[in-house]
């Protein structure tokens, strides 16, 4: 549940904003194709960015990480 007046993080928003080379390549491929899935595996197994970079990007963009009690 998203608090009123807030928006949820959109899938790969960080990747697109930092112009990740893997994301740029994915943008030129058809989602679901064999080539797309092959390139996408880079993201799941060998992301070029760290959680530290992602976390600080979230903070800089004003995102909050919340969970129910």
Q: What is the pTM of this model?
A: 0.82
Quick: pLDDT tens for 35-54: 999 999 998 889 999 999 99
Residue that the structure tokens 């799941």 belong to: 44
**pLDDT 10s digit of each residue in the chain, 69 long?**
788 898 899 999 999 999 999 999 999 999 999 999 999 999 888 999 999 999 999 999 999 888 888
Residue 16: what pLDDT?
96
Domain spans in the chain, listed from the N-terminal domain onward? 14-60
Whether 37 and 43 have beta carbons less than 8 Å apart is answered as no
Complete DSSP assignment for 4-37: TT--PPPTTHHHHHTT-HHHHHHHTS-TTSHHHH
């Amino acid at each position: 549940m998203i608090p009123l007046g807030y928006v949820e993080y959109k899938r790969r928003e960080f990747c697109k904003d930092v112009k990740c080379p893997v994301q740029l390549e994915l943008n030129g491929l058809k989602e679901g194709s064999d080539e797309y899935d092959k390139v996408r595996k880079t993201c799941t197994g060998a992301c070029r960015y760290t959680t530290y970079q992602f976390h600080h990007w979230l903070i800089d963009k004003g995102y909050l990480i919340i969970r129910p009690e």
